[in-house]
Structure 1
């Protein structure tokens, strides 16, 4: 028998065994081939088949060769025999795609159910990405590899670190052109650790830093930038001076230099923080009621606004999360009123939805005018089918019924003329919007200003117009009652003005600010040293020079009703003689001037104390000055005269 006949017989036997095995429940185990595969077996099979074909042609005398289709059928029959004789139905491409789509849909439903069961917490959502604090890196990510930073001649050398040194900093990195690092009197200590694991820290000022702070108060109250420049020259990392200098640079449209000064202050606080303080740790907190901590909050807030000015939305969004986590319960800068806008611009739509669900009960986000609108925008951006788009529109209509003044403010900012249905609806008139509580109007103005760029997109604008029109023409009694209910609820909720919202409005220049370094001070604020006791009351005399301002700040018993010249009048000659002796006319530092004046004041106070010891107050009478005692040789005569 030839080899091909033996193979056919073997295949028939295997087919019979397979038919018998189908009745049994146990599956047929396929023995895997051990050892290396013979890569040339295909050629051997073809040679054998060719030999068999040649022999069959000689026996039958047929001169017609077999077709290629017959060979393919023979090979398919061999494969069927090897698989047990069972007929295999080949799956088409469309059937395979349909099966994979059904499988993916099933897996996505399982993943959605699992994610719903394990919703992220507020701590996880407010986790800060440390890589998102470099605005230049974000710009490079957006513009790609083709982006090359434009620098002025010599700027490359200024920003290049010498060999052996590199940039350091957890929040921002320092630059070579900054002032050398040294201790200027700022430190941080741990104050408390609560039962829930929160660790509170507090910034401290030493006597040297306190003197600069008092002088800054006078300069700010009297709007004297020269004094601020002097403080900055002597103490280049004085936080409030950095805030003031950055503000002056912004007024002069030097935004890069202003941003650089803000980063200096943030970096300095980071370098002199407590060893256990971790700025990105959710449990590490700073209390805004402590005056010494407020400058760090304000520096971070200005850093956030600088990032937004450069359209670095991811940096602004992460900076907002850092500010919020420093005091999440108090939220002194009302970060929850603007962070959703930065998240929308950074295209963090899922984060908006997750944060709204996680913090709804914690921060009452449904009672703020900005979050319901942002949630509707996020759902609209993530919608993939008609049902999800309808859900997003329902969310927006709900937000419009609860806070209709947002639509009025957006139409005003975007200069949109609504159709007649919206114009005839009383709820969307300017008169009704102007009668809303003041605190609510401020929040609405902030949200409309921060998100008008998102709403003016054509697709989003059409989304807003359709939803507003449906609310305006709705005759559903339940919706009408809901609008009336929320009208009364808004008056109750926003009856009083929140200091946090007022503080945010001043920082965003929505309303004028009375103080750049301490906008809207907390009523329960604390400070390590008294402020009002040093002549900072309203109506105090104006000091026009640096030395006068310094003496004004250091005078321990200053009387607000007298001018500085009057108080120094009786000691002017002594003061000028003392200063001439200690200041020889050479170029001296600001610190030496401070020490000299402080020493003179201490000596002057001691003389006043000794002089007061010779004055005996009598009840109901004016103070009587005792005569000075004469020398020892005149003691007896003096006693006789007194007798």
Structure 2
């Protein structure tokens, strides 16, 4: 109705509602402003970095996409269009790296505060005997980074020890490497010697001396994880990431999707491993969106070789975070170059993502075709999903096509390799296939495939040329560090290395800069007694004699 016909009462009511909406809008803007503080503080730094890179490397032509806040490579770059698109897909929105914000959205601020390492739970139940008590006087010196949130019990951070160097830019990819100082190499030798003692107390003692030594933090994290102290284990992984991120080169902008690290260099490998384990802990907490961003970072560091098999889990995390369109785009861009048709996780997850994305009241014809193809080419997934869902179907269990007798005598069997990848997918993803509507769809597609022998035979022929020489070493490494008890790497592969701190390392390069020289080795060896005395004073229950040294006494308590 026209305004002239409104009664004075209606006008007052409308006016009051308008004021109320304005007030609520102001509150919403204030709330959003608080949430965006961390991101906004970094935007100037990112833009400044982009400007510096463009000035030094004009051919790269980087800019920020103002609509999304993500950096991107613009047209006119010599980089191929496909590389531009991949870089955009792997670019990171820093606001999505805040796991605490994601958890607050899910559970509320009060619950999160009570369950953080420095919260009420930590006070009530006590800290781990390997862990330092919170010290409110230390926290003020530590600033938050994209990958880690410093806790109250963390010691002051001092620079030194690890640094990052720029190497070169090739085809739009900027290559960097971490480097170790001489003093840090001595601490690294102490760490390696202490590993031989198999003593958690020795590892804990070394971390007290050098609280930001990344390998020690990651090793103690694994010890705590296997002891059931998950919160403390996760925190130590974040501390390792914090140590790395504080040493980033000014040109190393992880949001771009174009910064690279070589996995062949020993100094770089702990960063890859820390990111992988961070993803594991994020998924434990249900922080799927944050985990996806970290997974993108892990893959972008070395997409050519994908040394920790980021592609073997990125599909699952993308589905859990409901980033379906992004997942479809990733598949289109990587399908040919990365032979995604050989990965059972992509075959099944593409079908599932399409099914979910189609929504209700749809025939699901496209997703069903994708699923039928996945079942025919990678049949070993189906009985695994049925077993996890407690489904019995004799048409599957009694069909030799869906069975596999292990022939692990060498690492070269094609069927063995495919079965291993199928088992990995089942262990990681079976939960998302248990929804009633998903199970019904799965059984329907399976019935069609089982009743069509020609479809089964076509699938067998499709997978016959796959992995005839076994899986790539990177996939075995991924399986090894994924910690699924029912999915095991063949013993012939594990003979190379089962070390938790450097699992299945690549062949050693004679020119590897991470090799510690003889003088450094001698300095570390000569300080065995000093470290032993320190450990026995700090940890009275320690009786064995660790092989290691104390490093530079002037830098005890900091990472050198």
Aligned mates of 1:461, 1:533 — CA distance in 2? 61
Q: Structure 1 residue 223: deviation in Å?
A: 1.8
Matched, 1:393 2:368: yes
Match of 1:380 among 355, 371, 376: 355
What is the CA–CA distance in structure 2 between the aligned matches of 1:200 and 1:120, rounded to whole Å? 17
Q: Given the alignment, which residue of 63, 80, 95 partners 1:131?
A: 95
SS in 2 for 1:192: strand
* Equivalent residue number for residue 423 of structure 1: 397
Counterpart pick for 1:203 among 178, 196, 199: 178
Q: 1:152 aligns with which of 110, 120, 136?
A: 120
Give the one of 149, 155, 171 matched to 1:173: 149
2:229 is equivalent to residue 254 of structure 1: yes
Deviations 1:445-494 (A, max 9, x none): 2211111110111111111111111100115x4x254123124223xx34
SS at match of 1:361: coil
Does the CA contact (< 8 Å) of 1:446 and 1:505 recur in 2? yes
Larger mean CA deviation between 280-289 and 213-222 belongs to 213-222
Name the counterpart of 2:446: 468
Q: Distance in 2 between matches of 1:255 and 1:232?
A: 18
CA contact (8 A) 2:182 2:520 kept: no
- Higher-RCO chain (CA-CA 8 Å, sequence separation at least 6): 2
User: For residues 124 and 334 of structure 1, do their structure 2 counterparts lie closer, same or farther at Cα, with a shift above 3 Å needed?
Assistant: same
Query: Is the 1:167–1:175 Cα contact (8 Å) retained in structure 2?
Result: no
Aligned to 2:483: 509
Measure how far apart 1:388 and its partner are.
5.2
Aligned to 2:458: 482
Q: Closer, same or farther in 2 for the Cα pair 1:547/1:438, shift >3 Å?
A: farther
1:145-544 alignment, distance < 5 Å: 147=111, 149-150=113-114, 151-152=119-120, 167-194=143-170, 196-384=171-359, 389-418=364-393, 420-431=394-405, 437-475=415-453, 477=454, 479-490=455-466, 493-510=467-484, 511=488, 514-523=498-507, 525=509, 527-530=512-515
CA contact (8 A) 2:186 2:551 kept: no
- Residues 118 and 291 of structure 1: CA distance in aligned 2, closer, same or farther (over 3 Å): closer
- Further displaced range: 159-168 or 183-192: 159-168
Question: Aligned to 1:317, what secondary structure does the other structure show?
Answer: helix
CA apart distance, 1:143: 2.8
The alignment yields a C-alpha RMSD, in angstroms, of 3.7
Q: How much has 1:285 moved relative to structure 2? A: 0.9
SS of the equivalent of 1:180 reads coil
Q: TM-score, normalised by structure 2?
A: 0.69
Q: Which deviates the most, 370-379 or 441-450? A: 441-450
1:285 & 1:504 partners in 2: Cα distance?
Answer: 19
Match of 1:591 in 2: 552
Q: CA 1:291–1:118 in structure 2 vs 1: closer, same or farther (change >3 Å)?
A: closer
Secondary structure at 1:302's aligned position in 2? helix
Aligned: 1:547 with 2:529: yes
CA distance in 2, matches of 1:288, 1:550: 33
Structure 2 vs 1, CA of residues 155 and 129 (structure 1 numbering), >3 Å: closer, same or farther? farther
CA distance in structure 2 between the partners assigned to 1:154 and 1:276 by the alignment: 38
Q: Could you tell me how far 1:521 is from its partner in structure 2?
A: 0.6
Q: CA deviation at 1:382?
A: 1.4
Unpaired segments ≥5 residues, structure 1: 1-36, 41-116, 537-542, 552-563, 565-587, 596-643
Decide whether the 8 Å contact of 2:288 with 2:317 is kept in 1: yes
Determine the C-alpha separation between the residues in 2 that align with 1:432 and 1:507. 22
Is 2:142–2:156's contact at 8 Å kept on the other side of the alignment? Answer: no
Distance 1:222 1:316, change over 3 A: same
How far has the Cα of 1:321 moved from its partner? 0.7
The separation in 2 between residues aligned to 1:530 and 1:328, in whole angstroms, is 25
Partners of 2:404 and 2:419 within 8 A in 1: no
C-alpha separation in 2, matches of 1:503 and 1:166: 34
Q: Which residue of 2 aligns with 1:43?
A: none
Secondary structure of 2:159's aligned partner:
coil
Aligned pair in 2 of structure 1 residues 182, 201: CA closer, same or farther (>3 Å)? same
1:572 alignment counterpart:
none
| C-alpha contact 1:120 1:354 (8 A) present in aligned 2 | no
May I ask how many residue pairs the two structures share in their alignment? 435
Contact 1:220/1:515 (<8 A) preserved: no
Counterpart CA distance in 2 for 1:163 and 1:413 is 45
Q: Which runs of 5+ in 2 are unaligned?
A: 6-80, 125-132, 490-496, 534-544
1:142 is aligned to 106
Greater mean deviation of Cα atoms: 120-129 or 466-475: 120-129
Query: C-alpha distance in 2, partners of 1:485/1:412?
Result: 26
